Amino acid sequence: MRCNQVLQEWLNEADLQSWGANMVRVIGQPFRERGYRVGGLRRHHWADACLNLEGGRHRAVECPCHFTAPQSAGRSSILGACIACGDLTPSPARKNPESGSSAGKMTIRASKFTPEVMLGAPRRSAGVPNSDASFVLYSVSTYDFEAHESSGEIRILDVEKNESAVVTKGKDTSNPLWLDDSNIALFRGAKEGQTELLIGPAKNFEAGAYVAGTIGGAADNLKITTTAKDQYRVAFSALANPDGSLYNGETAPKLHTTGKLYHSLYVRHWDTWIEPQRQAVWYASLTTTSEVEDASKTKVWSLSSAVNVLRGTSLECPMPPFGGGDHFDVGPKGVIFVAKDPDLDPALHTKCNVYVVPIDTAVTDATPSIYTTNMSVFKGAATSPRFSADGNSAAFLMMMADGYEADKNQLFTIPNIHRPAWIQHFLATDDGSGKWDQSPDTVAWSHDGRTLYLTAEKHGQKLLYHLPSNPAAAQSLPVALTTSNTVTSVSPLTDGSVFLTSSSIVDSSIYSLVNYTTRSPYVSQLSSHSHDGATFGLSASQVSDIWVTGAGKNSSTGDKVHAWVVKPSNFSKSRQYPLAFLVHGGPQGAWDNAWSTRWNPALFAEQGYVVVLPNPTGSTGYGQQFCDDIKENWGGTPYEDLVNCFEYIDEHLDYVDCKRAVALGASYGGYMMNWIQGHALGRKFKALVTHDGVFSTSYELATDEVYFINREFGRSDTSADRPNAYDRWDPAKHTDAWSTPHLIIHSELDYRLTMADGLAAFNVLQERGVESELLVFPDENHFVLKPENSLRWHETVFSFINRHVGLPTVGDKDLEQITKDPPRGGGRQGSTVCVCVCVCATRRIRGYRSNTLWARSLKSVAGADMASNQRRQRATDGTSSCGLAREAGARRQRTTCTCCPRANELARCLSPAIPPDTFASLPHSLSPNPSCCFALDLGAFPVVLQLLPAGRLLPHTMHFSRAFVAAAAIYLAPLALADDAATDAAAASSSEIIRPDFKPTELKAPFVEQFTDDWASRWQASHAKKELDGAETEEEWAFVGNWEVEEPIVYKGIEGDKGLVLKDKAAHHAISAKFPKAIDNKKKTLVVQYEVKLQDGLECGGAYMKLLQDNKKLKTDEFSNASPYVIMFGPDKCGSTNKVITAFSLMPIAPFC
């Protein structure tokens, strides 16, 4: 159902009757015939309910406009209209794809991308496709800041329809998997700390699900594989007691002392003091027989008792704190897992072993045999053990160096799991370093076993690669199948394609499909959770990158250092923005093109910063040497790289004001903030923020993973000819220079960098009299994860840094009402839109009859926002709550219509699923109530305006008994134009969109302009002087801007569709065209459609269309702002003010245009 086919109206019977005939052109049949009913609403309830006309149903829903009607208003004197969310496929009660709420339900969200919006938005898990990815399972978690609680649900996505449905609700449900293409299994928390395995039909789970078995403790990381027809092997992880039995925290005996006695490391790890229980891998069988079929002959599976694979050993898998399903796998013939070497202290070593457990028979209580692979010189960490589809072979990743968690992963296979000592090393070299200078972090097999898929970082992206599974055939380096974004999950399908889950800086979750030949991989996007960022008002055009000269050299990038640049959504090259300089943690880490809910650069950008995210020496994804070079060099080359990056920004990015710069970092980034504070770069910033950073290297002996500091600072190397790295790179030795305002954040459960680091830094700042603040979280670890704490984190950070660069500090929440069901498809064909337009007219105000127009449309993609007091203005003396700015005069009534949150979505409704002529055929005669209805999108596509029948628009003392239109003209004030607009977003998606070709409309109208090749014969540019209402100035304001007709470079909907383009920045433009003949709209509706697309944003300016009076003295080449007109309307934006100006001349009029 197209969005213009779903309408919500307050209408009386007279409205309905007069409107019905016009609806034929929109939805194919009269309004009445669809069974829509109007009535039954009391006068004072008009503001609280709309009639939801979706799918022919009549449902009362909350009005998105929150229009408040005066109590004294007569029923016939108020008309409200809302264009609501639509979908391509009509359904009687369509559910919101994420919330399950009925269409039309509203929720409070910020009017721009704010921390509360991000933290309260539904978070989608990696997708789990069925055999051909026609359906995808996933989980969604959401936090409600009003109720202060989280919720969760499992959903299923119909890929072809791009619609999802709820499978089951409850935050205790998790791990959804397919048994076959019809049935699914998942975990659900049960009473007394137990876990149930539920199985049921995917499309009717709540009705058909049953408990296949109960696990006596908390289970996670469910995996299922087929062993035979109607038989499955199940594996999962759960805590085990020292004797190997399943641990249940709710039923375990409670100790009466809190004392803990330790004889070896670990003592504590990440955020937990070590307990006797360990993580273990468990396996069981899932079978069905004819005896357990239910009455409907549906197969019913039963789960056997689970066996602890690690029983009788001191092994632990998954390995804390971050290990999960990436540390083990189950196949038709066994289990494979990785674990720390039990003969070495885990706090001092990273060495792991790979263990294979062949299981060829049914599950029994007996503990299976465990075989250890022999990896010779490879003594580092290991991850991602994976079976081939037939279970005969396995692959895994392993590092060479012990004690170095950022060493390069290399690929190995076990050709026959019954011979685990037979290991094949891919792309090997004599010295063991390997031919491929990238470090993969996951591996997967193709369904036929002939191909291996790897994910690995490459220059700030995490890409998918492939190579043959036979080492003899894999002599060339792996070939990339993707080119951008960060791949987080890989699922090979039976047809040879690959289902991916990924994200980007502006898009929280993307599902896509990779089809490829040896020559040309093709990536098709199936679903974007945030609609390519549009849900948050973001777009890919905000993100770019730079390469600057670094302080060192490496084999991968030479002497260049890479950095991401993220601009505000309302970015304009004509102004300067303060700089937010973010340094990542690790230090062996990187800012990737990935979504984050902890350090999201787009949040900083929407505060008004240009955000730069450098990847200096030590970063991953730029070759192993570049990563290794930070060893015993923490404050050396990386610091110099950052200095060079800052200087490059200052010299080359004119839109960045480096005199208003702030720097922030966490972990190693926090160390660097403390280091910068004591060095010259620290004086370049107005404020610094350290989150869980190192104050003194000497404190790091208290860390949990001691192997890390041993390697990074050369602690085991006591040779006298090298300086002590502890002292050389200790920020605490440079506190005499600390003087920049500094916010310190630290959490008490951070056992990686203890609370002493944060307290010491704050103490020094306070002693020195440096402006400083300390934010402490007693219940968080190295990361701030709890939504309420994260909101406090963001509010504190933004308040601190903003006030030092002149940006607004975080105060009252800037809220708007927007729909919870955003448009689908990211602007592709068949996408939908949520648009809200409210209209009121012919009200009686203070005893006289007047006509006012007000509207709430959608927020511009340029990020313009209305002031809080305008949005919250309420009705007084009969005026509306939409922030009406009204100028009443003897000769002119001028109405300013303010904008609501999401104008950028309107283009996604119109392009290209709706024919361009659709809006010309919308119903226009809402007699007897005159009306004006428009929808505005400054940043993307259209401005659509409906004007009223003659004689119905203005106060009753003024009539248009006869109206003629003889010419139309466009007047535009200075704009930031499209010549150098960023085209990243359009380019990124162009390969995924099949656009229709432009064909001239067959619509018959007195004046239609589609800017075909002969456009210049109709349009005349003006070069008149601009009149300034008597202001004295010596400067000549002239309409000197040039015009061209071109195709759009952003939000391109139709191939070959062209429009007028302004070619000169900061210049006045004017152009006009004469109508072929005068237009007489007596007793008819006059409709004017005008589309504006700000392709490169807009800082300050307007774009107006005027209908001019029939004036023989008017010369088209002298058309200016002073030319007499009857109607003028168009967008007007300056800074944070975003309006649509609609003006009507009230002078007595002769025939006009």
Contact, 791 vs 40, CB < 8 A?
Answer: no
Tell me the longest C-alpha to C-alpha distance in the chain: 102
Contact, 974 vs 1015, CB < 8 A?
Answer: no
Distances (CA, A) of 988 to 388, 984, 1044: 33, 6, 26
Encode 418-449 in three state secondary structure: CCCCCCEECCCCCCCCCCCCCCEEEEEECCCC
Q: Which one, of 1063, 992, 1030, lies nearest residue 515 by Cα?
A: 992
Identify the active-site residue in 667, 747, 790, 860: 667
Identify the active-site residue in 782, 794, 924, 1068: 782
Specify whether 1136 is catalytic.
no
Task: Give the N- to C-terminal CA distance of the chain in Å, as an integer.
Answer: 37
Rounded CA-CA distance 179/223 in Å is 10
Contact, 1051 vs 1093, CB < 8 A?
Answer: yes
Contacts for 626 with CB less than 8 Å, ≥ 6 apart: 552, 554, 556, 557, 617, 618, 619
**3-class DSSP state for residue 252?**
coil
Encode 19-65 in three state secondary structure: HHHHHHHHHCCCCHHHCCCCCCCCHHHCCCCEEECHHHCCEEECCCC
**3-class DSSP state for residue 80?**
strand
Distances (CA, A) of 441 to 376, 395, 474, 499, 1079: 21, 12, 18, 17, 69
Identify the active-site residue in 641, 750, 937, 1110: 750
Helical (H) or strand (E) element with 503: strand 498-503
Phi and psi, residue 5, nearest 5°:
-95, -5
Beta-sheet strands, E only, within 210-306: 210-215, 219-228, 231-240, 268-269, 272-273, 278-287, 302-303
Rounded CA-CA distance 1072/1153 in Å is 12
What is the token pair recorded at 466?
Answer: 């492939």
What is the token pair recorded at 334?
Answer: 């066994």
Rounded CA-CA distance 185/233 in Å is 13
Distances (CA, A) of 420 to 279, 874, 1058: 24, 74, 65
> Rounded to 5, what percent of the chain is helix, strand, coil?
15, 30, 50
Distances (CA, A) of 376 to 63, 351, 372, 380, 810: 69, 12, 12, 11, 57
Name residue 636's amino acid.
G
CA 665, distance to chain mean position in Å, is: 22
Rounded CA-CA distance 836/82 in Å is 5
Specify whether 750 is catalytic.
yes
**3-class DSSP state for residue 987?**
helix
Specify whether 667 is catalytic.
yes
Contact, 411 vs 397, CB < 8 A?
Answer: yes
Rounded CA-CA distance 691/664 in Å is 8
Rounded CA-CA distance 491/504 in Å is 19
Rounded CA-CA distance 196/211 in Å is 6
Angle formed at CA 834 by CA 829 and CA 838, multiple of 5 degrees: 135
Rounded CA-CA distance 1063/343 in Å is 72
Q: Which one, of 381, 267, 374, 369, lies nearest residue 322 by Cα?
A: 381
Please name the residue ranges forming H helices in 877-917.
906-910
Active-site annotation, residues: 667, 750, 782
